Structure 1
Amino acid sequence: MVTPYTILETSIYKAFTEAFVNESAALNLNVTNLEKPFSVCYQAADILTTRVDRLFLPLI
């Protein structure tokens, strides 16, 4: 079986998602149309990034 992202226990995932949505609202990020399998999505253009080595990581 291949897990493309990660697996969290449901109550932990829900708590993390709720906290992330609340914090992102404080950064003026708005939830946009959902893309399965995710339950919360944002416009990529609205998310600031920083470069670490060769990776561009979102600032959250």
Structure 2
Amino acid sequence: MQETGRTIQFKHSDLKGAAFDQCDLAHATLTRCNIEGMTINGVMIETFINQTYEMKGEK
């Protein structure tokens, strides 16, 4: 299925274990989300974010 120009919103959703493959996530925003165990292209996002905050001296 290929769709263009359509915005999808998820609110109060349980996407635990979901997989997204070949999706355009440009300009996507996650707000107040549990990202425990989340990876993007094999990178643990929570670890990456924490390291970024540490480098900036924000945590």
TM-score (norm 2): 0.32
TM-score (norm 1): 0.31
Structure with more of its chain in strand, by fraction: 1
Which of these two proteins has the greater Rg computed from alpha carbons?
2
